[in-house]
Every structure is written in C-alpha cells, then in structure tokens.
C-alpha cells in the first residue's frame, strides 16, 4: 500500500526542496544583485527647486542641470523662522510612490560652497492611508535626517538612521503607534539646506544621490519564508489527511471483503465438517461424528439426557446378501435400513454407522422399557419390510441403558455384549443388558 503522501510528493523531497530554496533565497538576499536608485540621473523623476517663499520667507533657490550634476544656487535669508533652500525629487503622483523598504542606505556626493556650517537635511515623504490625504503633502509622514557634509562631499547614510520628524508628529497629531519611520510608499525625496545654515549664498552641486538596496528586504524575505513554510506544512497536513481518509476507506472496504470471505469460508468449513461426520453410503452419523458428539456432550451434558439408552443393531447374515446378490444390492439394503431406522427414531435420537452392517442408535431421555419397546418395534419393521431383490432381511439387537453415573463406554460395551447374545441365540431378536459391570469396550 502506498504511503499517505507518496501519491503526491514525498515529504523528504518537499522538505529538501524547501530547505534548498530557503538557503538560495537567504544567500541571494545577502549577496545577490543589489539594486540602486540614483534620483539625480534616473528617468521619470520630477526635479524641482524649493525654498521658503511659500511660507512667508525670502530665500531663493535656482536649480539647473550641469555636466557635473544638479546645481542648486541658494540665497538663504532668515526672514522665515525656519529658512531653507533645496531640491525636490518627485517619485509618483503624490499618493502612489515607490516601496523603498528594501533600500538600506543612501550615498550622497556633493560639492558644497558657501558660509559654514555645511549641513543638509534629507526627507523621505511617505504616503500612508489612514492619515495621509491626497493633495496635502503636509499629511505625509516625514522621515528625516540632518547631517554635516564632509570636506570631500561624500557621505553614506544608513536609512535605518532616518527618524520620523517630531515637529511633523506634533503638527499632525499622529497616534503614537503610527509614528514609526516607514518608507513603503515614498512619494518624494527632498534635500534641503541645514537648519543651522547661515544666511548668504550657498551653492550645492549634487553629483549623485544614490539609494542602495536589495530587491527584497530581510524582513520581507523572512515573512515570505515563514509563509512558504507555513503553506508547505499546511499542504502536507491536508495531503496527509486526505491520504489518511482514503486509506481508511480502502481499509474498511478491505475489511468488509475479508469479513465476507471469512463468512463464506466458515460456511464451507462447516459444510465440510458436516461431511466428515456423515457416512457417505447411508447418511447416518459415522464414528467421527459420534466422537464429536461425545466431546460436545462433555461441554453440554443435556445432549445425552438421562435416562439414556443405547441400541446396537447388526444385520443378520449380511455376508450372504453380498455373496448372493452382489455388493450393489448389499449397499441398497444398508441404505434402506438406514432410512427405516431414521424414520423410526426420535429427532433427539442419533443413528451411527458403527461399521459394516452394524449400527448404533443413541436414545437420550429413553429408559430401558422404552428402549426395548423401540428395538422390538424396529426389529419387526425390518422383518416385514419389502427389501430389494425380495430379500428377507432381519437384524439382531443389543440394548443397554446408562446406569446412574455410568461411563458411556461401559454402557456401550454392555449393549455390544447383549447383541452378541442375540446373535448366539438365533438372531432376529432383542437382548437387554442390565447394568452390572462388564469389561469396557473402547471407541476405536
């Protein structure tokens, strides 16, 4: 019988496959091809200059593309409380941005001239359903970081350092549990002058603003792996369950068929056993049958209910029947005798072919008087019966009644002795044996 899931995929094969796939994915995520996004040079990104004039300030910024990069000319004026100049990089339509969760760092390469300090602010605006509203940029989550530009103009910032701007949380009254930085739907990136920058002319050449990352983040990979293993496990359990139910159905059908076969075999066995206990020629019980009967009697004594009488019957001069008329006629006579005897006895009586032309009739619930009457009646019936080949057939009888507590074999022996006396005293007669002890005759 196939194993539960052998019909689909072996569990060991599936587990090996999943393990290999997991290893490949983990290695690929760690060492595999990186992805990057250089917002200065990428296509499809809207780039605009930004300054504080919209908020009542007077700073001015001008943005133009040069062979060296994106050049921002800024005149910073402290008319507004938080003056700024900067560059805006639009990544979508203001609602649908790009998922930047798998990016791990951003590398900036700039030339910065102007009054110190040279610091910059980087913002990633993330549109989040729940509190971000279309058309209202101020409702988008502000992931920010401010940093000093080193002398060589190169700086690499891990994106994990970006935090949600506290001024934005306060202004938007964001629930505490929604304040964590997030960048799964970034609609714009802004690079502004630092909050402490001095007034005056600042010139910034942004040579590159490059985000480095993986195709999928570690978190996404692990979530995917958990889902993959979970689905695999679930499928395995479902498959095993289906196979188990199918096997159970098959086992039940198998059991039903075995039970049927068993029943048929038992019937056949009973039939064969019945044949073993019956004499083929006469249909009477044979000695094997008598043995079985006596064995059962030991378990259920009512079979030989007291008083019980035994009647031995032996056809007289049967040898002559065979000699004169042949064995076939002899057989017919034996069959006819058995039929006559069967018709004469009670349902509870048993007719046993003892051997040759000798028969034993066991009569439970029959005392000696009744047994003698019965034997005499049968003897007379045989004497007057119309036998094959117009034969005159008689029989001699020996009758014994089991005495209280007497052994069956001993009573049998007495009946046999009585039969012997019938034979010796002229045949065609009934002789009764009283219960005085005689040597025991054995069941051969």
Ligand X SMILES: Nc1nc2c(ncn2[C@@H]2O[C@H](COP(=O)(O)OP(=O)(O)OP(=O)(O)O)[C@@H](O)[C@H]2O)c(=O)[nH]1
**Cis before residue 117, ω within 30 degrees of 0?**
yes
Q: Which is nearer to ligand X, 126 or 396 (CB)?
A: 396
Q: Which is nearer to ligand X, 281 or 437 (CB)?
A: 281
d(Cα 254, Cα 18) in Å, to the nearest integer? 37
Q: How far is the CB of 314 from ligand X (least distance, A)?
A: 5
CB 438 within 8 A of CB 419: no
Which of 297, 275, 281, 260 is closest to 356 using CA atoms?
281
Q: Is 138 a catalytic residue?
A: no
Strand order in the sheet with 163-164: 46-51, 85-90, 186-193, 119-126, 141-148, 163-164
Q: Are strands 186-193 and 85-90 parallel, antiparallel or unpaired?
A: antiparallel
Return the structure tokens found at 97.
């941005």
Q: Which is nearer to ligand X, 263 or 327 (CB)?
A: 327
Q: Which is nearer to ligand X, 60 or 322 (CB)?
A: 322
Q: Which is nearer to ligand X, 136 or 327 (CB)?
A: 327
Q: How far is the CB of 268 from ligand X (least distance, A)?
A: 28
Q: Which of 55, 199, 271, 357 is catalytic?
A: 357
Q: Which residue is nearest to ligand X (CB)?
A: 330
Which of 427, 308, 436 is closest to 371 using CA atoms?
308
SS3 content of the chain, % helix, strand, coil (to 5): 40, 25, 30
State the residues that interact with ligand X by CB under 6 A.
281, 314-319, 322, 327, 330-331, 334, 356-357, 423, 427
d(Cα 293, Cα 389) in Å, to the nearest integer? 36
Return the structure tokens found at 17.
């496959």
Which residues are identified as catalytic?
A: 357
């Amino acid at each position: 019988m196939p194993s539960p899931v052998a019909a689909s995929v072996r569990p060991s094969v599936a587990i090996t496959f999943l393990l290999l796939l997991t290893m490949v994915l983990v290695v690929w995520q760690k060492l595999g091809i990186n992805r990057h996004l250089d917002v200065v040079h990428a296509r499809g990104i809207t780039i605009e200059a930004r300054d504080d004039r919209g908020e009542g300030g007077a700073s001015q910024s001008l943005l133009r593309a040069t062979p060296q990069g994106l050049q921002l000319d800024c005149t910073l004026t402290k008319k507004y409380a938080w003056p700024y100049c900067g560059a805006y990089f639009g990544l979508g339509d203001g609602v649908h941005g790009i998922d930047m969760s798998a990016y791990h760092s951003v590398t900036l390469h700039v030339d910065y001239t102007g009054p110190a300090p040279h610091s910059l602010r980087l913002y990633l605006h993330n549109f989040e359903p729940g509190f971000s509203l279309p058309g209202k940029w101020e409702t988008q989550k502000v992931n920010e970081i401010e940093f000093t530009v080193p002398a060589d103009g190169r700086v690499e910032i891990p994106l994990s350092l970006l935090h949600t701007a506290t001024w934005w949380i306060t202004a938007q009254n964001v629930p505490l549990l929604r304040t964590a930085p997030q960048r799964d739907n970034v609609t714009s990136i802004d690079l502004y002058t630092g909050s402490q920058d001095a007034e005056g002319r600042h010139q910034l050449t942004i040579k590159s603003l490059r985000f480095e990352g993986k195709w999928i983040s570690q978190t996404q990979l692990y979530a995917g792996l958990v889902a993959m293993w979970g689905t695999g496990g679930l499928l395995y359990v479902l498959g095993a369950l289906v196979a188990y139910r199918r096997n159970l159905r098959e086992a039940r059908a198998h059991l039903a068929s075995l039970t049927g076969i068993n029943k048929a075999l038992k019937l056949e066995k009973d039939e064969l056993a019945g044949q073993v206990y019956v004499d083929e020629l006469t249909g009477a019980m044979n000695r094997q049958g008598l043995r079985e009967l006596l064995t059962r009697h030991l378990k259920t004594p009512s079979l030989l209910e007291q008083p019980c009488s035994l009647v031995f019957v032996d056809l007289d001069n049967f040898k002559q029947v065979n000699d004169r008329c042949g064995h076939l006629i002899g057989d017919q006579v034996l069959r006819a005798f058995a039929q006559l005897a069967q018709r004469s006895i009670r349902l509870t009586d048993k007719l046993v072919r003892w051997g040759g032309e000798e028969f034993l009739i066991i009569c439970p619930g029959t005392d000696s008087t009744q047994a003698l009457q019965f034997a005499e009646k049968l003897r007379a019936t045989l004497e007057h019966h119309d036998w094959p080949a117009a034969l005159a057939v008689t029989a001699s009888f020996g009758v014994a009644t089991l005495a209280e507590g007497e052994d069956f074999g001993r009573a049998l022996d007495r009946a046999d002795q009585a039969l012997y006396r019938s034979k010796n005293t002229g045949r065609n007669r009934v002789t009764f044996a009283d219960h005085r002890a005689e040597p025991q005759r054995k069941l051969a």
